[in-house]
Structure 1
Amino acid sequence: MNHLATYIQSYFNIPSSDIEKIQSFFKPESIKKGDYFLKAGRQCSRLSFLQEGLLRVYTTTATKDVTQWISSKGYMITDLSGLIFQLPSTCNIQALTDCELYSIEREDYNDIGKVIPQWHYLEKLFIAKCFKTLEDRVFTHLAMTAEERYQQFFNWQPELFNQVPLQYIASMLGMTAETLSRLRNKKLNS
């Protein structure tokens, strides 16, 4: 679980003995391509670290699927409304590839504070970072052009353009697949 330990250390900067204690709560899990980590309407009861693979977070409307996020290796995945508030999810989380995860169930997540005294502070930092990511996404959609959003995402995760259907990336960036294709061609030809 080296990647999980590195992730925990980068987020929280805590002693390795505490990292080992936190890691002990996470259990390995595999999800096959096409299978679901979570389906809309169900309650998410776990937080997972994505060791390998790609997961797509999306919502289905009356007319289309809207991709909210594509989670890749080295990131956490959950539905916070389910994990924290025990509400049914409004989104689906589906494996785009075979995935290897380390997951912690809600009950164990809630019990970490009994083992790691500063856990509640660390949890606050984690949720604040999640909120900051959400704020950044809202800002990019409100203040950036489609071309700027494309370039920013491409600079951040260029490998996804070869691993994920482009219509998912386009949806996540708030544009049509045709717009994404046009922007890609413009960058390739410049």
Structure 2
Amino acid sequence: MKTAGEIKPLDRILEASQFMLSEEVKERFTKNLKRFIIPKGRIMVDLGQVSPNLYLIEKGVMRTYYLRGSEDITSLLVSDGDIVCIAESFLLQQLSNEVLETLEDTIVYAIGYDAYRKLVEEDAYMAGLAVKLLEQHLINFTDRVKVFKYLSVEQRIEHYVNQPSSLFRRIPDHYIATYLGTTAATFSRCLKTINFDKSRK
């Protein structure tokens, strides 16, 4: 059984749709979700576009990144069970200053902005669920700020690769390196000195 900290957003929505949503809302929610299989390397939202959908990842990996000069910096890594969009662009329907792309062949359920807003505004439980997801996002963001504020680069890398949600060995190291605020060379060097959580092997 998953602990509270291990329950991913998609798990919460699936649980809600099975046990807590009214039949009418459940039907509308399911009707508005569209399932896609998206190939690796596909740009879902580009710079200067409006993020049209909220994606619920069934299986796969996606990232968001921004440009700093000629270098792209990973700002978010998400995988199986996570929910992703360019939040500011999607929620405010404004042009994005980040890119959303797939890093693996990815299976997603997508819901458009208008359908999402209608569900949240018309159903109290869906509104509550949206608040819970926002709260979890804020907690995760706060945790990441603490990691950057209090841990050295070496400690950040060790902390990340030993997390249950780590995508280490699943995606190229340089994406994780920029996500952790370092270079691919430093990331590779630090891996040689890290104590890995043997329970995850």
TM tier, shorter chain? 0.7 to 0.9
Q: Quick check: 1:144 aligned with 2:151?
A: yes
Give how far 1:118 is off. Answer: 2.8
Give the conservation status (yes or no) of the 8 Å contact 1:29–1:101: yes
Q: What's 2:34 paired with?
A: 27
Shift of the 5–186 alpha-carbon distance from structure 1 to 2, 3 Å rule, reads closer
2:178 corresponds, among 138, 159, 171, to: 171
Q: Quick check: 1:125 aligned with 2:132?
A: yes
Give CA deviations for 1:98-134 in whole Å, capped at 9, x if unaligned: 1110010001001113653332232222112112211
Give the conservation status (yes or no) of the 8 Å contact 2:121–2:127: no
Shift of the 15–125 alpha-carbon distance from structure 1 to 2, 3 Å rule, reads same
- Counterparts of residues 93-112 of structure 1 (less than 5 Å): 93-112=100-119
TM-score, normalisation: structure 2:
0.82
Give the conservation status (yes or no) of the 8 Å contact 2:11–2:81: no
Give how far 1:62 is off. Answer: 1.0
- Counterparts of residues 18-97 of structure 1 (less than 5 Å): 20-21=26-27, 22-97=29-104
Number of residue-to-residue matches in the alignment: 187
Give how far 1:81 is off. Answer: 0.9
Provide the rounded CA distance (Å) in 1 between the counterparts of 2:148 and 2:10. 33
RMSD: 2.7
Q: Quick check: 1:7 aligned with 2:16?
A: no
Give how far 1:37 is off. Answer: 1.3
Percent identity over the alignment is: 22
Provide the rounded CA distance (Å) in 1 between the counterparts of 2:158 and 2:18. 31
Provide the rounded CA distance (Å) in 2 between the counterparts of 1:60 and 1:135. 23
Provide the rounded CA distance (Å) in 2 between the counterparts of 1:158 and 1:81. 24
Shift of the 63–4 alpha-carbon distance from structure 1 to 2, 3 Å rule, reads closer
Provide the rounded CA distance (Å) in 1 between the counterparts of 2:181 and 2:160. 12
Give how far 1:161 is off. Answer: 1.9
Provide the rounded CA distance (Å) in 2 between the counterparts of 1:51 and 1:40. 25
- More deviation, 111-120/138-147: 111-120
Q: What's 2:5 paired with?
A: none
Provide the rounded CA distance (Å) in 2 between the counterparts of 1:41 and 1:88. 5
TM-score, normalisation: structure 1:
0.86
The runs of 5 or more residues in structure 1 that have no matched partner are none
Give the conservation status (yes or no) of the 8 Å contact 1:37–1:95: yes
Query: 3-state DSSP class of the match of 1:156?
Result: coil
The runs of 5 or more residues in structure 2 that have no matched partner are 1-7, 197-201
Provide the rounded CA distance (Å) in 1 between the counterparts of 2:143 and 2:107. 28
Shift of the 41–93 alpha-carbon distance from structure 1 to 2, 3 Å rule, reads same
Shift of the 20–139 alpha-carbon distance from structure 1 to 2, 3 Å rule, reads same
